[in-house]
A and B are shown apart, each in its own frame.
Chain A
């Protein structure tokens, strides 16, 4: 027996550390592609998981939580108000009940995040943005629509042409349930053909403007016209 039983032997500890560093260095560049695989697997598993525990895994249950606000804002369905103003003939403020009284549209599309994750076949339901604009009466000089949120921070924009598409919703249901607070409830925007950062959570204001006012992310490096697969240097399949 030697003086120091651990003093000699092979430096396995160092090899393990270097091995993990090597794995990490390989995993980062291929991580985006690996994520597509795990997202697909998790979507299959979580659809059959009654406990909801897979929702705690990265990408489990599909969505990842993002918020740029200090805290998650809360507004009850009763307190919720949506204002429509700017270059319109008839500015208005709506309650959630009033929105639900308008023609309802349900869309089932994929949700595609600009950071890579995708949630297949997610139902959203609400009022078409075009219906709200028509009701308000858009003035001739109007060119764009600006969205504000009751988190006090987030904003988004669409051109008037984009906003009038039938797949742009003011959504109060997601996955056939009321939109939850973390998902942007009671009411959020759902811009189906665009990357998900366009689908502003906690929507509280729609202002018709004479030019596009870039939203929160756009001065921070994301494209204003955020068509899925045709912007932000990405090549995703369309969400349709």
Chain B
């Protein structure tokens, strides 16, 4: 739908490879969280049973969670986005304070909150995998380490659940951002509002890109200058 007076120019935000990395990681994370709930909460456990199957699914969803990301390192666009997520520039300073006070603060392709989320969830996932492996192979470690690993795994699971819940909640309030991950492109007007420093980098300006969308031949091309 084109709203009157608003140019419908779309700019590329994510390549096909990046969107599939996100989908695969999300599916693994969702599987790990749902099986965790059915193993951990007695009321849910009573409902479904099948514990050894749930344990197996949970273990494999957890251990394979980094695979999409690692496979994605083959994509230049994805590597370049990882660099963007890693680096906090001068414009990121003050973002948290400004956002808490509901003021706009200029951001690049990812704002400081998204960068922090990416780092915290990645670190947490690695700790979950480490502690999970200690519980998966209990013979390799003494009892006090197993107890400690269970303790860390339990509490960190709550934090991961809250982080992912917050991530989904933020997405639920931003249809254009969701469309960006579904189709790979976002309206220039959205980018100007939310990621102005990135929007300025995107060539094109006022002339509309021809029918950018899933059929766009440049979709998924890592050589795209927009990655």
Contact = CB atoms under 8 A, between A and B. Distances in A.
Interface string A1-21: 101111111111110111111
B190 interface: no
Interface in B45-76: 45-46, 48-52
Nearest to A220: B138
Interface residues of A, number: 50
Interface string B150-181: 11101110100000000000000000000000
A195 B152 CA distance: 22
Interface stretch (B116-124, B207-215, B216-224): B116-124
Contact of A9 (B41, B92, B127): B92
A85 B27 CA distance: 51
Nearest to B93: A9
A20 B120 contact: yes
B91 interface: yes
Interface in A1-60: 1, 3-14, 16-21, 23-24, 27-32, 34-35, 38, 56-59
A116 interface: yes
Interface stretch (A64-72, A91-99, A140-148, A159-167): A64-72
A161 to B, nearest CB: 27
Given A6-B108, A29-B145, A35-B147, A56 B41 contact: yes
Contact of B119 (A3, A7, A16, A58): A16
Given A35-B151, A58-B154, A12 B45 contact: no
Contact of B51 (A30, A57, A71): A71
Nearest to B85: A13
29 contacts: A4-B108, A5-B91, A5-B109, A6-B83, A6-B198, A8-B89, A9-B87, A9-B88, A9-B89, A12-B115, A12-B119, A13-B86, A17-B122, A24-B130, A27-B151, A28-B131, A28-B145, A29-B148, A30-B148, A35-B148, A38-B155, A56-B41, A58-B155, A70-B51, A71-B48, A72-B42, A72-B45, A181-B46, A234-B143
Q: Which 10 pairs of residues, A with B, have the shortest CB-CB distance?
A: A71-B49, A31-B148, A20-B123, A58-B154, A9-B89, A24-B127, A5-B197, A6-B84, A16-B119, A5-B108
